[in-house]
Amino acid sequence: MRQTYTATSISPEIAERLRAMPKVEIHVHVEGATDAETFYQMAQRNQVELPTDSLEAWKSFFEFRDFSHFIQVYTAAVKCLQTPEDYALMIERLYKRQAEENIRYTEAFLSASFLKQKFQDDEILDAIAAGRAAGEAKYDCRINLIPDIAREIPDSQDHVLEFVMRGKERGLFVGLGVGGLEVGYPPELFAETYAAAHRQGLRLVAHAGEAVGAESIWGAVNTLKAERIGHGIRCLDDPKLVEVLRQHQIPLEVSPQSNYCLGVVKPDQPHPIHKMVDAGLYCTVNSDDPAMFSTSLTNEYLTLAAQGFSWEELWQLNLNALEATFLDEVEKDRYRDEWEQFVRTVS
């Protein structure tokens, strides 16, 4: 794992507790959680040329170095996705990854703007259904998917909404998101699509306040009516925005190592999530693109523990993630009972 700011050492007891605790994650990208070996298998099967000539070299290339290199890795990796079966495998492998970290429930993003260029809707929906069925049969965890619009391809938004609605009818998707390049593509470009999605009963989320400042978050909240904000750490630039987010308790999907890797937070500085929590904001902890950022959800919690968060604070962040999900209350109760049993074992 990457080295970032630390303020204290982590006791073995707390480290083990963080590994063992049942977790929820609400901001992770399916593509960015897929490991190097899986992409390599796809490349071999699909005869896609990679920038390396062996699995070991590809694994080394896959390790995060800087933002420019991350773009190279991401671009090379997604080119390996050539068939519907690749998507089925990728989703099944996400179940495996989440189960290994005791992430009991996940809401994961799937980049949908690129799918129309390669596949018919029905064939990719069938593949997604197959991947979910295989994952649920093998691993003791649940995943719901939130397709998102790539900001830099705004012309794709109508098709993405249509795709999401078709998937929702099949029980595959729970909401709509927007991600990708934040600079130059403000939330207002997607206002009509989000309004239509709301009318059709989709839950709404939006990446905002990572590469662009508070104005991006204002747009996501006021124009898109987003129920959760992906990242959102730039809210601290605007005290009025902080107060609005605090009053309405809009969940913020914070991903510390992602912020460090992409230079949003300097590696020698503490992550601003502590300031956000102290300001009364509704924060959750997530891994974003864990395979590509050499992290994991457990490592995100360990990062915060090393920056002075107490066990009680970290557990509350985990509780926040559960409450911020789009599960209904009956489903949340099932996880609340499991959470309570775990707490009794460690108290």
Query: d(Cα 227, Cα 45) in Å, to the nearest integer?
Result: 40
Percent of the chain clearing pLDDT 90 (strictly above): 90
Higher pLDDT among residues 297 and 3, named by residue = 297
Burial class (CB in 10 A: 0-12, 13-18, 19+), 283: buried
Q: Cβ atoms within 10 A of the Cβ of 67, count? A: 12
Tell whether the model's pLDDT for residue 234 goes beyond 60. yes
For CA atoms 309, 228, 100, 82, give the dihedral sign. negative
DSSP notation for 242-299: HHHHHHHT--EEE-HHHHHHTTSS-TTS--THHHHHHTT--EEE--BSTTTTT--HHH
What's the mean per-residue pLDDT of the chain? 95
Model confidence pLDDT, tens digit, residues 98-152: 999 999 999 999 999 988 778 999 999 999 999 999 999 999 999 999 999 999 9
Tell whether the model's pLDDT for residue 2 goes beyond 60. no
Tell whether the model's pLDDT for residue 228 goes beyond 80. yes
**Annotation says 210 is catalytic:** yes
Query: d(Cα 145, Cα 140) in Å, to the nearest integer?
Result: 17
Q: Average the pLDDT over 254-277 and give the result.
A: 95
pLDDT band at residue 214, thresholds of 50, 70 and 90? very high
Instruction: Please tell me the pTM assigned to this model.
Output: 0.95
- Please tell me the predicted confidence (pLDDT) of residue 5: 77
Model confidence pLDDT, tens digit, residues 40-87: 999 999 999 999 999 999 999 998 888 788 888 988 998 999 999 999
DSSP notation for 197-240: HHHTT-EEEEEESSSS-HHHHHIIIIIS--SEEEE-GGGGG-HH
Tell whether the model's pLDDT for residue 338 goes beyond 80. yes
**Beta-bridge partners for 25:** 106
Burial class (CB in 10 A: 0-12, 13-18, 19+), 319: middle
Locus of tokens 């929820």: 24
Model confidence pLDDT, tens digit, residues 191-213: 999 999 999 999 999 999 998 99
DSSP 31: G
pLDDT band at residue 321, thresholds of 50, 70 and 90? very high
Q: Which amino acid is at 300?
A: E
Domains with residue ranges and CATH for the chain: 12-346 (3.20.20.140)
- Please tell me the predicted confidence (pLDDT) of residue 233: 98
Residue among 182, 210, 253, 300 flagged as catalytic: 210
Model confidence pLDDT, tens digit, residues 254-265: 999 999 999 999
- Please tell me the predicted confidence (pLDDT) of residue 159: 96
Tell whether the model's pLDDT for residue 27 goes beyond 70. yes
